[in-house]
Structure 1
Amino acid sequence: MTDAPAETTGTNPFSQVPIEITISVGKARPLVRDMLRLQRDSVLPLDRRVDDPVELYVGDKLIARGELTEVEGDPNGQLAVRLTEVADLQNGL
């Protein structure tokens, strides 16, 4: 990562406020009757493939796209996202 501009670091009181980022891997549109049949080990197909990009949102605002990856060296196989595209929040994505 590169160093953040001075105006977004220590001098800005908002720079230490945590935000929640939601990672969207896909959507499903089952019928209600199919939802009522779901049980443990059921499979719910999504509208995306395993290697398709995921989308990162803050609230309902798309901020980036990326690919799922495992955290290197993590014995538990923790997931992470490698960014492939970052939104230009000033001018749109």
Structure 2
Amino acid sequence: MDNELASSSPFSSVPIEITISVGKARPLIRDLLSLENDAILPLDRKIEDPVELYIGDRLIARGELHELQEGSGGQLAVRLTEVVELKEGF
């Protein structure tokens, strides 16, 4: 969908939630039940691995985590490195 068509759509101003997946953990139930504050839960990815962006259960892009400029209070952002073709719709 080109930018002109997207901006003329009646849905172009409707917000949509994107979920960013940084990894998965697979603890045993006994370990999960014993979690407390400050516990560390290892994930299946490294810090430099790409994160995945989803709308619902549909993968729409991959990217790298970044911290926004100073003054943003440590807010995270994602720099997109790969965008999935969305012409078929969601």
Instruction: Give the structure-1-normalised TM-score.
Output: 0.87
1:65 aligns with 2:87: no
What amino acid maps onto 2:27 in structure 1?
Answer: P
Find the aligned partners of 2:27 and 2:15 in 1 and give their Cα distance. 34
Q: Where in structure 2 are the equivalents of 1:78-93 lying within 5 Å?
A: 78-90=75-87
Give aligned pairs, total: 87
Find the aligned partners of 1:60 and 1:79 in 2 and give their Cα distance. 22
Out of 3, 6, 20, which is 2:4 matched to? 6
Runs of 5+ consecutive residues of structure 1 not aligned to the other structure: none
Deviations 1:24-53 (A, max 9, x none): 000000000000110000000000001110
Runs of 5+ consecutive residues of structure 2 not aligned to the other structure: none
Instruction: Give the structure-2-normalised TM-score.
Output: 0.90
Deviations 1:40-68 (A, max 9, x none): 00000000001110000000000000000
The 1:7/1:26 distance shift into structure 2, 3 A limit, reads same
CA RMSD of aligned residues (A): 1.4
